[in-house]
A and B are shown apart, each in its own frame.
Chain A
Amino acid sequence: MSEYFIEIVNGVKTFLTGMKMTLQHYNNKEELVATLQYPHEKWPIPERNIGFENSEYNLIRSRLHVDIDDCIGCLQCEKVCPVDCIKIDTIKPPKGTDVDFGITSLDTQKKMLVTRFTIDMAECMYCNLCAYPCPEECIYMVGGPNEHKHEIDYEFSQYKRDGLIYEFADPTEDQLAEVGGESYVESRQSQKQKLEDGSNLEGVVEEEKKAVVVEDSKGSVKKEEDTGLTLAIFNDVGDKPARGIAKKAFQAAKRANMNFDAMADYVNGAINDSGKSSPEMTAAINVIRNFKDESVTINTPVKVSAESSSETPEFLEMASTNFDIKILNGIEDKMSRGIAKKAFTSAKRENLDANGKIDFIKKTLNEADKMTDEIDSLISTFAVSDVPPAVVAPEKEVEVEAEAELFDIKLLNDIDNKMARGSAKKVYMAGKRGNKSSSIVLTQIREVLNKAEMMNDDIDGLLKGIG
């Protein structure tokens, strides 16, 4: 009988012990929750290298990146690539023409135009072999020792495989015309047209085409030049063949950069020729005719050749987007142009904003005694019409603030004992989530390590150093 009561008492005791335990976990969730909400929070990337010095070898499996302004088109990286994932096309100017391609950051005169520099990251095996032969040090794995050149990017997954083909070179048509690459322009345009026609085929499910990732900032400018009118306006037309004809005519007119009246006339003409006119079609054409907004002005392309580039319209248009190295082509004196371009690339490497770049260029030119009023006015145009720096998304700001208060987790990497390092990092992440200051986190790390008897003089000194 006494066994019966002892059992009950034991049962109640263990019952209470268990309840106490889970309640402690519930109440201390601030510290104990181990979940890392992956896309929102990230562990720092572990740095691994095969060398003795971190700066000597870099085998971070990150992304390849090319500073195309420094590329001289020597094809060394293309040749050395074991899986042939790098493709480079260059155009050399015909003999006798005098075209200046500028100098690289290592003071090499560029002699040809790189029209294509694609890296297929789906094929890349991350051997880093392409980085070694590059004479200009312009191809490299991002992050790690190259963190100052390009921030790390290890999450570049795409929904389609062709999204992993990175295009680094993006020469403008003017540049191509300068070196006599008209045939290249044509082939590029016909390729684009084929892609567009393919996506407009009837019966084919239209998908959002993922454009080839263009690294250079100016690529985005072109894409924005859309009229705002789409093929969707013809979707109300019931007659299928008529709809096809109208869409085709509309595309052709759009490619020819017609204004909306001309576009409407063109489509109307095409419809009348085939005798497929209907009330819905007339309504759709009227939509085009009446479609007028600010985008019209953007749509009209300014055809200015490189020689006459000192005229303002092109500059204003470009300035409203970005301060680009090509603007400096407007400088007539060759020497000063070279100096200015060099100053620009080094300013860019320092991550200066447009105004900073301009100041830096002016300073360099003044030092070299090459400053003229012409150049001054040319460059200063951009300082005035400079776009305000993009507003940082509020969420990001919060993250930055939280990080700013805490020390960097990488500092904990110096702890030799793996177990101790793991527990220290765990405490760090909990502290980070709780927006705690460095000193509190450090004391907590000390407490945890003391409790686990993993504390030694090295760690103590290290933590003191962080504090």
Chain B
Amino acid sequence: MTSIVKSIIASFQAFPIDPFLLAVLAILIPGVIIFLIMAVNALIAVYFERKVSAFMQDRLGPMEVGLFGFKGGKKFWGGIGQTFADAIKLLSKEDIIPQDADKFLMIMAPFIIFTGAFLTFVGLPMSDSLVISNFNIGIFYIIAMSSVGVIGIILAGWSSNNKWSLYGAMRAAAQMISYEIPIALSLILVVLVSGHLDIHGIVQWQADNRWFILHSPFASLGFVIYFISVVAETNRTPFDIPEAESELVAGWMTEYSGFRWALFFLSEYANMLIVAFVASIVFLGGWLSPFQLIDLPFIDIFPESWLVLDGTVFGIFWLFIKAVILIFCMMWFRWTFPRLRVDQLMYVCWKIFIPFALANVILVSIWELIF
């Protein structure tokens, strides 16, 4: 199985190049690619979110700011330059560090959170053989890396020397650590069934059999539990008690401004993309075309790969389509439901999701034994 890092090394081996330089290149190029994906994702997702929220609340959202004089759609999808303008504004803002804050930790915290999101992308394939580095424990690595952010959040809350920040950080830690469990338990199902920790193996299993969400009713339930839990994991409404504007100002982000705050924002939207990617890879067949599901009578007449629109390039397309639909669902949740109380949040996690996810693991194993 090839990966981007491997192909970079292979293509530069033809030239007489210093091994040290080669290593730097092999790190730098994927880094730039990941950063670009994160930045573009944030720009588009913020615009998309503002539009979705506006339409759900009978508003229009941004309509005026254009890019090079082009504003976008006249009726509904105007203002395409709004997030660019906001990003420029954000980066040119003053960077304030409170006098009594723990300066070193306060500066470190956004970078730790950002690193967590950044590193997750290393093991996350965009399509067939389009992955920065291919691990044989890919799914495990992704679960581990997405938890790194909690340390950054606690540091941010503690170092700000602010009651709201600290409360927000405490809530975030409790919430994120709790919801790690149902997430991991749901992802375990696919590992149980396919026998792979490696993401390519998981998708290959789905190509050979069927999408994992259709494997059994328990797998479908697993998807629901996973998806709701990751909404909580990414601290989005209705699980946004760590930020809770009406209670905690802005939670653990209260004292941050300018570039550091932009990093939080960037990682928040990158995390959305990551969880949507993982959900589509594990449960929705990843880069596989949905046409593979349909068993059409004339499917044998045409060459299969042509009709089904499969392959690396179409793989990117299918994966992104699935991820975008899931991201839309997350936005849909956000603009539909009111925020949960802290105890309700814990109730949902510990008393509902975890028992059901545990039962799921057992039932899927039994299902596998029987069928």
- A positions within 8 Å CB-CB of B: 4, 8, 15, 18-19, 21-23, 25-26, 29, 32-35, 37, 433
What residues of A have a CB within 8 angstroms of the CB of B335 in the complex?
A: 22
CA gap between A33 and B76 in the complex, in Å: 9
Interface 0/1 of B253-268, CB less than 8 Å to A: 0000000000000000
Q: List 10 A-B contacts (CB under 8 A).
A: A8-B352, A19-B333, A19-B336, A25-B57, A25-B58, A29-B58, A32-B58, A33-B58, A33-B76, A35-B60
Q: A22-B56, A37-B63 are in contact. Are A29 and B336 (CB under 8 A)?
A: no
User: Looking at the complex, which one of A21, A22, A23, A33 makes contact with B60 (CB distance below 8 Å)?
Assistant: A33
Q: A8-B352, A22-B332 are in contact. Are A37 and B56 (CB under 8 A)?
A: no
* Interfacial residues of chain B within 9-66, with CB under 8 A of chain A in the complex: 52, 55-60, 63
Interface 0/1 of B94-135, CB less than 8 Å to A: 000000000000000000000000000000000000000000
Residues of B in contact (CB 8 Å), total 17
B217 to chain A, nearest CB (A): 15
What residues of B have a CB within 8 angstroms of the CB of A433 in the complex?
A: 75
B337 interface residue, CB < 8 Å from A? yes
Q: A21-B336, A33-B60 are in contact. Are A26 and B75 (CB under 8 A)?
A: no
Q: Which residue of A lies closest to B333 (CB)?
A: A19
Q: Which residue of B lies closest to A433 (CB)?
A: B75
Residue pair A18, B63 in contact (C-beta under 8 Å): no
CA gap between A26 and B55 in the complex, in Å: 5
A3 to chain B, nearest CB (A): 12
Residue pair A29, B332 in contact (C-beta under 8 Å): no
Q: A25-B56, A26-B56 are in contact. Are A19 and B63 (CB under 8 A)?
A: no
Residue pair B58, A37 in contact (C-beta under 8 Å): no
A276 to chain B, nearest CB (A): 43
User: Looking at the complex, which one of A21, A22, A23, A34 makes contact with B59 (CB distance below 8 Å)?
Assistant: A34
Q: Which residue of B lies closest to A34 (CB)?
A: B58
Residue pair A29, B352 in contact (C-beta under 8 Å): no
CA gap between A433 and B75 in the complex, in Å: 8
A228 to chain B, nearest CB (A): 27
Residue pair B59, A35 in contact (C-beta under 8 Å): yes
A394 to chain B, nearest CB (A): 13
CA gap between A4 and B56 in the complex, in Å: 32
B330 to chain A, nearest CB (A): 12
What residues of B have a CB within 8 angstroms of the CB of A18 in the complex?
A: 336-337
A443 to chain B, nearest CB (A): 22
Residue pair A19, B332 in contact (C-beta under 8 Å): yes
B47 to chain A, nearest CB (A): 16
B73 to chain A, nearest CB (A): 12
What residues of A have a CB within 8 angstroms of the CB of B336 in the complex?
A: 18-19, 21-22
CA gap between A26 and B336 in the complex, in Å: 11
Q: Which residue of B lies closest to A12 (CB)?
A: B224
What residues of A have a CB within 8 angstroms of the CB of B56 in the complex?
A: 22, 25-26
What residues of A have a CB within 8 angstroms of the CB of B63 in the complex?
A: 37
Q: A8-B352, A18-B337, A433-B75 are in contact. Are A33 and B55 (CB under 8 A)?
A: yes
Q: A19-B332, A25-B55 are in contact. Are A37 and B337 (CB under 8 A)?
A: no
A402 to chain B, nearest CB (A): 11
B328 to chain A, nearest CB (A): 9
CA gap between A37 and B73 in the complex, in Å: 14
What residues of B have a CB within 8 angstroms of the CB of A26 in the complex?
A: 52, 55-56, 332
Residue pair A29, B55 in contact (C-beta under 8 Å): yes
Q: Which residue of B lies closest to A14 (CB)?
A: B337
Lowest 5 A-B CB distances belong to which pairs?
A35-B60, A22-B336, A29-B55, A22-B56, A32-B58
A410 to chain B, nearest CB (A): 24
Residue pair A23, B58 in contact (C-beta under 8 Å): no
What residues of A have a CB within 8 angstroms of the CB of B60 in the complex?
A: 33, 35, 37
CA gap between A19 and B58 in the complex, in Å: 15
Interface 0/1 of B345-356, CB less than 8 Å to A: 000000110000
Interface core residue of B56, B63, B333, B335 (most chain A CB under 10 Å) = B56
What residues of B have a CB within 8 angstroms of the CB of A33 in the complex?
A: 55, 58-60, 76
Q: A29-B76, A33-B60, A433-B75 are in contact. Are A23 and B332 (CB under 8 A)?
A: yes
CA gap between A411 and B371 in the complex, in Å: 71
Q: Which residue of B lies closest to A37 (CB)?
A: B63
A309 to chain B, nearest CB (A): 47
Q: Which residue of A lies closest to B64 (CB)?
A: A37
B252 to chain A, nearest CB (A): 28
CA gap between A32 and B333 in the complex, in Å: 20
CA gap between A179 and B91 in the complex, in Å: 66
A103 to chain B, nearest CB (A): 50
Interface 0/1 of B311-347, CB less than 8 Å to A: 0000000000000000000001101110000000000
CA gap between A15 and B52 in the complex, in Å: 18
Q: Which residue of A lies closest to B328 (CB)?
A: A26
What residues of A have a CB within 8 angstroms of the CB of B52 in the complex?
A: 26
What residues of B have a CB within 8 angstroms of the CB of A22 in the complex?
A: 56, 332, 335-336
What residues of A have a CB within 8 angstroms of the CB of B352 in the complex?
A: 8
Q: Which residue of A lies closest to B356 (CB)?
A: A8
CA gap between A21 and B56 in the complex, in Å: 9
What residues of A have a CB within 8 angstroms of the CB of B333 in the complex?
A: 19
What residues of B have a CB within 8 angstroms of the CB of A19 in the complex?
A: 332-333, 336
